[in-house]
Structure 1
């Protein structure tokens, strides 16, 4: 339980490092399995989710060596014939390793915590089984039987999901001929960018990608992971709803599919800007923000680019003038918690009028009152409602789940609000 009382804050803050990007941390470990030689990863996120990926990589035979801020990883010479893979709370770990291991002869048992066991895996089961792998169930725990003769296929996903797409890509790179993947809406594109940069033949045509099988292993790489915009968003919202505050954050990932939340805040009237300072595998740059008067908005498009940031955005919407609506966000019901229900329940607990819609949320902007909220075991719900402590006293029950993605969250948020009851 975390107690969040309101206090005065300094006027200006500058951060060089906040939290390394979680999506790129997972991928930088998993993609090493497709390479030859030793890859070097700098600034890997140290969180529960990424540790799950790291532990499975080691279990499968990858050689790992830590040298200060750098991690060296070499792919295994041979994968085990069978393994039990505990993914804990990480859907990315489960789905991407399932795609990777679909092309290997072996029997791999995938499991997770109670939250991950509830999350739908039929969405990766369908394409992977069409390619020649077998999955014993549509939910964890399940056994994946890989095949060394995967078929190239054409597959359309009705769900815009980077995890589904990445699992498909990893399997397709091991297939016997070209594969095609399309989706209703373009999802986040880290896998395509990263693997194409290494030489994989992945061609993007609007919402469709063409993937050619690898003819030889990819080269090893050196990759420095930038700040995670899905973590930076919490500091931005804290700044915007604070009084006379300015922040500057460097080394932020500015991939267009990851900064839609920044654009939404700008549409709400936020004083917020960003500048690309390095454009390599991913665009990286500086973000500036200042306390602002926010206006209500309707959010109904590019939801797949906002899915992790909507809980934090809802705190901004609760502080905005007017009534805001979020539509087409039914995917929120299939995350670590039913985020639509979790957000509405906590907003009501803090005196904000809110309504649960079938595919979204209706929020009346207002003033938070003191209150107690639940994390529902969901790290993004816990972090988002901690932001209400900028304005009022809030108790967060079950805040330990924050370690899943942003272990140093409270070290940064203390610049905006003082906490009691934590170390």
Structure 2
């Protein structure tokens, strides 16, 4: 994307084309100005447009340029935070409300894909959270117990069944979540955009916002070549925020994450490697993830940035790790490589912010953007439509606050991932 093969890699190479868009020029009026062309912004725009509202979406680069177009493609339910911990942090009312919404999140994603005919390589076979050693098994067993108390269709698989599903005996067990699945993330983003435009929303790319001012009862949202006059503003820029809402970015610590994709595997290899096509990630702090795309490429990723010395270190580690996981692969060649940034908040929970009268947004997805972003976009639409009040939203309103020692922590995470991957396979 934008001439950089390491920005979106395989997803840019295999996604359907984005719908035609152009920069904003001149003065336009709308009910709602949505800032950001990721899952939150586009879900919000789609739901508002379907309700008959005039929506103008402004994206600084291209549709899906940020995390929406770069991620692994796991449609996860819930968050990283353990369900009981989330409920304890937010309180029983908000906590359980959020758990219910995000537990049902994958079903919303899949329903939108079905309703709008979005071609995004959807797989509905669940995900596997794999346990590394006894501590990992203890963690996923606790997750199982906490989700099952809430009626979720999750269960721990023993080492033998895990090995059968994965094609490797590297893990002590896994947590199967049948609510979840995988998709092609950039294709999903572009499909949401196409659906929102078909519903009547106007999308303008290459239109970074440079100012936003409140004039009476209306907002004036300015780009270099145009102005949107709107009653509401939705800030959906998250970890890639710039301009008037750059503080949304500084509230988060960037954690780099890379993915590498092999050539399509042959039919014999596909019989033994993820035959059920579940999405996979493990319990290590510096985690690994892997999955298959529709063509049978193995997409393998972990924490780290493919730049400077990290490019050589992470790719060499990935080859060693894959050789241990799947020796039947032989010498591994990667067709595509790419990376991006995950926005991490201090408590690993998203944020609900109010930026002024009738100006709201969610941010801080902590590596869980597909399902929560889609859900939160719908929630923002319901707030604007008057179907919900602020008190009925899934998160409390909080003030923006800059994360302490952010540049140091970001440098530490990038360097630390290189040190960890230089050391060995970690399985």
Q: Same fold (TM over 0.5)?
A: no
TM, length-normalised to structure 1: 0.24
TM, length-normalised to structure 2: 0.24
